Amino acid sequence: MERRENRMRRFLLFSRGLIDEALQQIGELPDKKYGGVGIATMTKNCHNDYKMKFSVDEEFPDLSLHNNHMAKVLTKEIYGKLRGKSTPSGFTVDDVIQTGVDNPGHPFIMTVGCVAGDEESYEVFKDLLDPIISDRHGGYKPTDKHKTDLNFENLKGGDDLDPNYVLSSRVRTGRSIKGFTLPPHNSRGERRGIEKLSIEALASLDGEFKGKYYPLNGMTEAEQDLLIKDHFLFDKPVSPLLTCAGMARDWPDGRGIWHNNNKTFLVWVNEEDHLRVISMQLGGNMKEVFKRFCTGLQKIEEIFKKHNHGFMWNEHLGYILTCPSNLGTGLRGGVHVKLPKLSTHAKFEEILTRLRLQKRGTGGVDTASVGGVFDISNADRLGSSEVAQVQLVVDGVKLMVEMEKKLEKGESIDGMIPAQK
C-alpha cells in the first residue's frame, strides 16, 4: 500500500511537467499577454464573509500595548472600511495586520507591523498602508512618484574607499515576481512555480554570472557546510515578526540559494521575498559591487519578462516587496567599516542621521558591533533612486573614514560635520 502511494506521488509530480506540455500543444494555454492574477471574477473568501457577521467593535484588535507603525495608524474607522474587502487572491486586512497584532513591538525600535500578501494589497488597503508608508518613509505622499535608476555609470567615485578601514562592500535588494502572491500568502504550488522560474532564469546567466542553484531541500551535507562557511546559507526564520506573518510555512519547500562561481553574486529564493539579490566582495570597491549588482539584476529581469513574469513595479511605489519598509528601491547598500574612534564620538549618531545612513552590528539588523566594526548602510528606500542611495553611502563612508583618520591623529573633526543631506 505504501509503495503504491509513493509511486503515485512520483507519477503525479512527474506528470505535472507532461501535462504542461500537452496542454500547450492542444492550445489550452492562452496568449501570454493574459497572464497574471489581475483577471476579474476571482474570489470568494468564505472565511472573511463569515467574519463579517461580527461587528467592528467585536473584531477590532486590542492595540493598547502596541508600538508599531500599524498600531499608530489603524483606527476602528479604517478597519471598518477595509474589513469587508479582499484582494483578488483572497488576502484581507486581518492578514495584513496579523504580524503587528502578534508583535506589540519594542519601546525603542519602531517596526512596521504589517505585510502585503500580493501586489494588489497596496491598492486595496491603501487607506491603511499609505499613512504607514508615509510614516516609515519620511512623509512620502500617495501622489509622489518614485524614481528608479539602475544605471551604474551614474555613480560617481566609489572605487577608492580605503581598504584598511572598509573591510567589505555589499548591495542587496529584493524583487517580487508578477503573477504570484507574496510569501505571507502564497501556496506551495506558487512557491514552487517561483522557484522553477527562478532556476530557469538564473541558469541562463553566463560570464561572471555563471553559477549554481542549491535547493534547501536537496543540498548535500558538503554543500551545506560550504554555504555556511561562506556565510551564504539562510535559516528558517525564527523572528516572530516573520513567522506570525506566515512566511515560514512549508519550510524548506521551494526555498534555495543560488550564487555565481566567483561567489560575488547571490540570490535567495523564497525567503522573506520572492528573490533577494545580493552583490558583494571584500574590500572597498563599491563601484564594482554596484556595477555587478545592476548588470546582474537587469539580466535576470529580462529573462523573467520573456516568460511574461516581470518584476512587480509601479511608478508610485517602485519595486513591490512584502514589507512596506522595503518599497521603492528595496536597496540596502553598505560596508563593513572599522570606526573604533568615530563610533565612540559624541556626535556619531548625529553624523549618521545627517548623512542619511544607519548603523548595524556586523551580524546584521539587531546585532551589536564587534571590535569597532560597523555595518553602515543607507537609511532610505523609497523616494530616491538606487544610484542616489548608493551615492550617499559612498560619499558618507568616505567622509567618515577621513574623520576616523583625523581622530587617530588626535585632531578635531568639528569642522567636518556635514549638513543634513
Closer by beta carbon to another protein, 16 or else 306: 16
Q: How many residues appear in the chain?
A: 421
DSSP class per residue in 284-328: S-HHHHHHHHHHHHHHHHHHHHHTT--B-EETTTEE--SSGGG-B
Contact 37, 179 (CB under 8 A): yes
CA 44 to chain centre: 29
Q: Is 142 helix (H, G, I), strand (E, B) or coil?
A: coil
Q: If you search the block for the grid coordinates 551535507, which residue do you land on?
A: 221
CB of 313 to another protein, least distance (A): 17
By CB under 8 A, name the one of 84, 139, 142, 189 that touches another protein.
189
Question: Residues touching another protein: how many (CB under 8 A)?
Answer: 69
Candidates 179-187, 296-304, 359-367, 387-395; binding stretch for another protein (CB under 8 A): 179-187
CB 218 → another protein: shortest distance, Å? Answer: 10
Q: Does 326 bind another protein (CB under 8 A)?
A: no
- Map residues 211-230 to x or -, x wherever contact with another protein holds by CB under 8 A: ------x-------------
9 belongs to an annotated ligand binding site: no
Give the rounded distance of the alpha carbon of 37 from its chain centre. 21
Cβ 186 to another protein shortest distance, Å: 6
Residues 144-163 touching another protein, rule: CB under 8 A, are none
Stretch of 11-19, 133-141, 161-169, 403-411 lying at the interface with another protein (CB under 8 A): 11-19
Contact pick of 146, 185, 287, 316 for another protein (by CB under 8 A): 185
Q: Is 367 a known ligand-binding residue? A: no
Q: SS3 of 411, please?
A: coil
Say if residue 332 carries a ligand binding annotation.
Answer: yes
Residue 119 contacts another protein per CB under 8 A: no
Would you say 100 and 112 are in contact if contact means Cβ atoms under 8 Å apart? yes
**Rounded CA gap, 160 and 320, in Å?**
33
Residue 169, annotated ligand binder?
yes
272 to 113, 246, 283, 332, 373: CA distances (angstroms)? 15, 10, 28, 15, 27
3 near another protein, judged by CB under 8 A: no
For residue 170, list its beta bridge partners. Answer: 280, 334
Q: Does 25 bind another protein (CB under 8 A)?
A: no
- Rg, the chain, Cα only: 23
Instruction: Please report how close the Cβ of residue 103 comes to another protein at its closest, in angstroms.
Output: 10
Cα–Cα distance between 337 and 42 in angstroms, integer? 51
Alpha carbon distance 401, 247 (integer Å): 39
Q: How far is CA 371 from CA 71, 346, 393, in A?
A: 37, 18, 21
By the rule CB under 8 A, 348 interacts with another protein: no
**Measured from the CB atom, is 192 or 210 closer to another protein?**
192
The x, y and z cell numbers of residue 256, run together, are 534555495
Q: State in angstroms the smallest separation of the CB of 174 from another protein.
A: 19
307 among annotated binding-site residues: no
Q: How far is the CB of 380 from another protein (least distance, A)?
A: 31
Q: Is 170 annotated as a binding residue?
A: yes
User: Looking only at residues 27 through 86 of this chain, which bind another protein when binding is defined by CB under 8 A?
Assistant: 28-31, 34-37, 39-51, 54-55, 58-62
Q: Should residue 206 be labelled a site residue for another protein when binding is judged by CB under 8 A?
A: no
At which residue does the C-alpha cell 554570472 appear?
209
Rule CB under 8 A: say whether 91 interacts with another protein.
yes
Distance in Å from the first CA to the final CA of the chain:
69
Q: Kindly state the smallest distance separating residue 20's Cβ from another protein, in Å.
A: 8
DSSP 419: P
334 is in an annotated binding site: yes
Contacts 24+ apart (CB under 8 A), 288-293: 288/159, 289/169, 289/170, 289/171, 289/264, 290/152, 290/155, 290/158, 290/171, 290/333, 290/390, 291/152, 292/208, 292/264, 292/265, 293/152, 293/171, 293/173, 293/265
Binding to another protein by residue 374, rule CB under 8 A?
no
To the question of whether residue 335 is assigned a binding role by annotation, the answer is: yes
CB nearer to another protein: pick between 190 and 375: 190
Q: Residue 49 or 315: which CB sits closer to another protein?
A: 49
Minimum distance of another protein from residue 13's CB (angstroms): 6
- Annotated binding residues for ATP, written as ranges, equal 168-172, 231, 276, 332-336, 360-365
- Which residues of the chain form contacts with another protein (CB under 8 A)? 5, 8-9, 12-13, 15-16, 19-20, 23, 28-31, 34-37, 39-51, 54-55, 58-62, 88-91, 94-95, 98, 101-102, 117-118, 179-181, 185-190, 192-193, 217, 243-244, 248-251, 253, 309
